[in-house]
Amino acid sequence: MSDSTTWKLSLFAPKPIVQAALLAHDLIDDWDSELVIAGREVAEDQPDDWVLEGWYPRKPGNAEKTALAGLFDGSAPKVVVEKLPAEDWVTLSQHNAPPIRAGRFHVHTPDYPADPELIDFTIPASQAFGTGQHKTTAGCLEMLGAMKDSGVAARNIADIGTGTGLLGFAALALWPRALLTLTDIDAVCVGVVEENARLNAVPMGAARGEAVMIVADGMDDPLLQVRGPYDLLIANILAGPLVSLAPDFAKAISPKGSLLLAGLLAGEQEDAVKRAMHRAGFRMAARLQRGDWAILWLRRRSTRRPAR
């Protein structure tokens, strides 16, 4: 998203209804990429009351409202439309966010002090996802620590859909001699990642212990392919793309390499992703659940087995 005016559309409904709408969205191949959606609980003390939110770079018309309403089976909730200030909606949502602790890591905006006893990252509110506030990002940080504790040796790491760069930076902190490749489909993330690298003393470059940033759609980039195979690949994106990318991940990861996945709801989305990864030659190594979100660690089998 750019830093121009953004419009938000909100549909309030019980948790299972919003989750079903998110699942329906995952099955749509021709969804308007400018209409970004997400679901969340209305408040921590209202875990059963959820809202489906959509963000659009201009005033939404009937087409956008109908698209969101069509995700609901039966009678759709009322679509509430509001114009946001002329500032990126992700930045607004992250402003003054409190620090989080996730396993070995402490993540905070510049408004808060560092924690010298943990691996500390300063991640300002920005136009990219991944400040550690969302349960999927925090869960990935926890899982990275668990991988390190289990003896995983990562020498070549890729973070697909990196957003702010946080998960890639965290992996490099745990495996400081690794090669690190960061990618995102959104070009705005390049400047965000470079600034965050500067703030956290993460060197940018192509050598070991340095990070390379690429704008790429999934695994479709020559440099991303040349820098492989990877023995740790991170993808905190969405369930639908994860299913589609399973064969590409299998080609990009070395035998016995690790795959860290998030951005999927526990239940149907998780089951669909697990099936796709199993067919592509991965086996489960560990699982975390944070709220309604599943975080999966998978290992690529050393020998591919035929899909059943």
Query: Using one digit for the tens of pLDDT, what is the confidence trace for 1-11?
Result: 334 567 889 99
Q: What is the domain range of residue 100?
A: 94-300
Q: 173: part of which helix (H) or strand (E)?
A: helix 166-174
Q: Are residues 76 and 136 in the same domain?
A: no
pLDDT at 207: 96
Q: What is the pLDDT of residue 308?
A: 47
**Token code pair at residue 203:** 């060197």
Residue 306 located in a structural domain: no
Domain count, the chain: 2
Q: Which of 49, 64, 87 is the last residue of a domain?
A: 87
Phi, psi of 144 (to 5 degrees): -60, -40
Read off the pLDDT of each residue in 233-242 and give the average, rounded to a whole number. 92
Share of the chain above pLDDT 90, in %: 58
Whether 16 and 139 map to the same domain: the answer is no
What would the mean pLDDT of 59-63 be, rounded to a whole number? 92
Q: Which of 57, 87, 117 is the last residue of a domain?
A: 87
Q: How confident is the model at residue 228 (pLDDT cuts 50, 70, 90)?
A: very high
- pLDDT score of 88 more than 60: no
- What integer is the mean pLDDT of 288-301? 93
Nearest to 240 by CA among 140, 161, 131: 161
Residue 210 lies in a domain: yes
Domain-located, residue 2: no
| 65/202 same-domain check | no
End residue of a domain, out of 43, 66, 87: 87
Q: Are residues 110 and 74 in the same domain?
A: no
Q: What band does 128 get if pLDDT is binned at 50, 70 and 90?
A: very low
Q: Are 115 and 150 in contact (CB under 8 A)?
A: no
Averaged pLDDT score across all residues of the chain:
87
- Is residue 205 a part of any domain in this protein? yes
Do the domain assignments include residue 284? yes
Lowest mean pLDDT among 44-48, 69-73, 147-151, 169-173: 44-48
pLDDT of residue 90: 52
Tell me the whole-structure pTM to 2 decimals.
0.75
1 falls within a domain = no
Least confident range of 121-130, 264-273, 290-299 = 121-130
Mean pLDDT computed over 224-240: 94
Residues 208 and 162 placed together within one structural domain of the fold: yes
Above 80 in pLDDT, residue 259?
Answer: yes
Strands 293-300 and 105-108 turn out to be: unpaired
Check whether residue 251 and residue 112 sit in a common domain.
yes
Is residue 99 included in any domain, yes or no? yes
Q: Has residue 202 got a pLDDT over 90? A: yes
Contact 295, 136 (CB under 8 A): yes
- Which residues sit opposite 50 in a β-bridge? 13, 41
Tokens of 300: 């690529």
Please indicate, yes or no, whether residues 46 and 157 belong to a single structural domain of this protein: no
Looking at the structure, tell me whether residues 175 and 75 fall in a common domain.
no
Distances (CA, A) of 218 to 95, 170, 181, 249, 295: 29, 21, 13, 9, 19
User: CATH number, domain at 170?
Assistant: 3.40.50.150
Does 307 map to a domain?
A: no
